[in-house]
């Protein structure tokens, strides 16, 4: 007998003696009931699943998740609480980009020496809606089989919902294609960064003897990327997403970093790609991650496309063609560079061993490279930290030619 499939999660009420206080309503009309947590209210977004077993606070503050509702496949979310050090967004003035989160079990009291706040209180403070008691395995199966779903997540402590109105709102949301979300999460003005990576017993340090100056274009920059750049010997100047190539190059950088971020790369690329073309042409060493990888691909003549289920987690295997080694990486993206569209001047350097999608590229005759995954992790393994060293090596070689 064939194994049963889960086309849609069952509409169940996990607590028979209680009315549901939260709902996740998919655009196809599926209603999933549960217990509310975090902020009250409702928000539309795209439902994805994340397979990481740690780092929920870093995930929920990653600007790349703007516009999304995250389903955590790991059941115990919130058990280590929250603190001020594990926030990944570099723009603290911006509202939380993530629209909500879906949990298997209810949030428990924190049990960790670094916990400074209960996770439920932290969600409320950041305006993030959560629903607990969901069959996250069934929901993950639905996404895997049918693709990421548009939905609305709602939390009403009194248990009163207008279900039909929620269905209409979920069905009417246009989705992620064509959305430029980078402008919502980028910094408002330029600033400098010198904080280095966290060390046991010491916390975060400072880069006091930088050898290089890097300009980082903020499309939704994560703090740990900045820390890894500083640790590698760089002082970093962060500039907004709409900064012109002329303004960037006028700062005389040794290298340019193109950051991660949310949304459709083609939409953000409408204003960013022309500037990236100028930066590539200048010959300044350039390194891109995630959305930055996709937009560099567009600037080099490739194309991007929406993925079926995206890649979200801290256990994604990637092959490095240069070394023939396999790295376990952290990923968070719903769009990808189309391999077949890469021009002859660009070489593919990495690929996903989950689905074969492109995960890295380099320009054959210029010091320009990028990866689809997150070498800074946070959360995730540190297999790919060598890419920051590679960037430094390119800047070192380039300085010798000046």
265-282 and 291-299 helices, crossing angle to 10°: 60
Structure tokens at 239: 């500039």
Structure tokens at 165: 């109105």
Structure tokens at 179: 């959305």
φ, ψ of residue 92 to 5 degrees: the values are -70, -15
User: Hey, is 339 helix, strand or coil?
Assistant: helix
The DSSP output letter for 287 is: E
Which residues form the catalytic set? 290, 374, 376
CA 28 to chain centre: 26
End-to-end, the C-alpha distance of the chain in Å comes to: 70
User: Hey, is 252 helix, strand or coil?
Assistant: coil
CA dist 234 and 254 (Å) reads 9
Nearest in space to 72 (alpha carbons), one of 63, 59, 88, 89? 59
Strand partners, 329: 316
Given a contact cutoff of 8 angstroms between Cβ atoms, the answer to whether 67 and 176 are in contact is: yes
Strand partners, 47: 69, 149
CA dist 328 and 353 (Å) reads 10
Long-range contacts for 245-249 (Cβ within 8 Å, ≥24 apart)? 245/275, 245/276, 245/277, 245/278, 245/279, 245/282, 246/278, 248/215, 248/217, 248/275, 248/279, 249/278, 249/279, 249/282, 249/284
φ, ψ of residue 184 to 5 degrees: the values are -80, -20
Q: How far is CA 329 from CA 63, 68, 218, in A?
A: 18, 21, 22
Given a contact cutoff of 8 angstroms between Cβ atoms, the answer to whether 352 and 316 are in contact is: yes
CA dist 398 and 402 (Å) reads 7
Given a contact cutoff of 8 angstroms between Cβ atoms, the answer to whether 266 and 298 are in contact is: yes
CA dist 340 and 303 (Å) reads 9
* Residues in Cβ contact with 177 at an 8 Å cutoff, skipping those fewer than 6 apart: 264, 306
């Amino acid at each position: 007998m064939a194994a049963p499939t889960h086309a849609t999660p069952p509409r169940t009420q996990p607590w028979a003696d209680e009315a549901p206080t939260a709902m996740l309503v998919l655009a196809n009309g599926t209603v999933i009931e549960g217990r509310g947590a975090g902020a009250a209210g409702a928000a539309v977004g795209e439902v994805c699943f994340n397979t990481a077993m740690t780092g929920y606070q870093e995930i929920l503050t990653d600007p790349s998740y703007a516009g999304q509702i995250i389903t955590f496949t790991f059941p115990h979310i919130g058990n280590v609480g929250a603190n001020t050090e594990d926030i990944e967004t570099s723009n603290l003035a911006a509202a939380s980009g993530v629209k909500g989160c879906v949990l298997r079990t209810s949030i428990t009291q924190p049990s960790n020496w670094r916990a400074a706040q209960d996770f439920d209180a932290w969600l409320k403070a950041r305006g993030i809606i959560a629903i607990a008691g969901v069959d996250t395995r069934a929901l993950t199966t639905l996404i895997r089989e049918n693709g990421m779903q548009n939905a609305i997540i709602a939390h009403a402590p009194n248990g009163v919902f207008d279900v039909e109105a929620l269905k209409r709102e979920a069905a009417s949301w246009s989705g992620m294609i064509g959305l430029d979300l980078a402008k919502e999460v980028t910094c408002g003005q330029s600033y400098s960064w010198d904080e280095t990576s966290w060390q046991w017993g010491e916390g975060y340090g400072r880069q006091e003897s930088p050898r290089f100056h890097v300009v980082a274009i903020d499309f939704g920059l994560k703090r740990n990327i900045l820390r890894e750049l500083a640790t590698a010997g760089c002082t970093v100047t962060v500039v907004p997403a709409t900064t012109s190539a002329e303004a960037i190059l006028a700062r005389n950088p040794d290298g340019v970093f193109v950051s991660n971020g949310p949304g459709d790369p083609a939409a953000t690329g409408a204003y960013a790609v022309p500037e990236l073309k100028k930066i590539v042409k200048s010959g300044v060493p350039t390194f891109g991650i995630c959305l930055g990888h996709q937009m560099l691909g567009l600037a080099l003549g490739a194309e991007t496309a929406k993925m079926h289920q995206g890649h979200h987690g801290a256990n994604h295997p990637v092959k490095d063609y240069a070394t023939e080694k396999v790295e376990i990486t952290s990923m968070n993206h719903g769009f990808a560079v189309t391999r077949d569209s890469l021009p002859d001047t660009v070489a593919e350097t990495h690929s996903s061993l989950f689905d074969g999608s492109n995960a890295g590229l380099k320009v054959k005759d210029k010091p320009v490279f990028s990866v689809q995954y997150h070498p800074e992790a946070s959360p995730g393994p540190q297999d790919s930290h060598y890419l920051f060293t590679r960037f430094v090596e390119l800047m070192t070689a380039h300085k010798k030619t000046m």
